[in-house]
Amino acid sequence: MTDWFAGAVAEHYDEDTAHLPVEPVVEFLAPLGGGGALELAIGTGRIAVPLTARGIRVTGIDLSPDMVGRLRAKSIDIPVEIGDMTTVRVDGTFSLVYIVFNSINNLTTQDAQVACFENAARHLVPGGCFVVEVGVPNTRPLDVFDLSDTHVGVDEYDSDTQRLVSHHFGLRDGVWRRMSVPFRAVSPAELDLMARLSGMRLRERWSGWSREPFTRESVRHISVWEKP
């Protein structure tokens, strides 16, 4: 797998994601993590560090050494395995496995996404939950999802293959730079099927971390699947 988060992306990740919610995420996850939590694509610890501060034992998996290096600058107490979240095993089992901010889409094949669900299920105790935050696929071939003086974001989507490429044009230090990252868009229904194949069942689905109802107008969802 390609590490899209190396170098400058990791260096500026916390700055670039400072607008994203943290406290509502922690409030949602903490009650599920009493038996320990495993974060897939833990990154710089944007969620793991404050969740740990709430007394939750957090372990992580991430592909990018540079992102984990940023985490290490914040905490040396969170165990992290460097590697592919579809296959890497860590010691122990957990009451919560979670992956946030569309990171499930970084897996660009259906097989890889199914393998991620299977790996999550392997790490869960009976009654444990797998929580995923991800956008609802936009069916337009081109979509401008962000437009500001310093950033332009354009999604390019192919409905035949479910391939989604996010093009980011960013202004930093007076220079415009482009980064294009491939994803695989996936519907809530397909994710539900992946969960069933992995021995889990849907427990709840919301459109936001404050448990806003999920409707046909929702542009993202937070889904909770439970291992019987």
Q: Which of 204, 202, 190, 205 is nearest to 227 (CA)?
A: 202
| Stretch 95-108: mean pLDDT | 98
| Stretch 27-42: mean pLDDT | 98
| Stretch 11-28: mean pLDDT | 95
| Stretch 159-171: mean pLDDT | 94
pLDDT above 90: residue 120? yes
Mean pLDDT across the chain: 96
pLDDT for residue 154:
96
Could you give the percent of the chain with pLDDT greater than 70?
Answer: 100
Q: Which residues pair with 144 in a beta bridge?
A: 154
pLDDT for residue 139:
85
pLDDT for residue 117:
98
Provide the pLDDT confidence category of residue 25 given band limits of 50, 70 and 90. Answer: very high
The pTM of the whole model exceeds 0.85: yes
Asked if 38 contacts 47 with a C-beta cutoff of 8 angstroms, the reply is no
| Stretch 197-207: mean pLDDT | 98
Give SS3 for 117. Answer: helix
- Domains of the chain plus CATH, in order, are 8-136+187-226 (3.40.50.150), 138-185 (2.20.25.570)
Provide the pLDDT confidence category of residue 111 given band limits of 50, 70 and 90. Answer: very high
Ramachandran angles phi, psi of 45, nearest 5° = 85, 25
> Which residues, including other chains, have CB under 8 Å from residue 223's CB and lie 6 or more apart?
131, 132, 134, 188, 191, 192, 202, 204, 205, 206
Tally: H helices and E strands in the chain: 6, 11
pLDDT tens track for 66-89:
999 999 999 999 999 999 999 999
pLDDT for residue 167:
94
pLDDT for residue 1:
77
Distance CA(222)–CA(205), nearest Å, equals 6
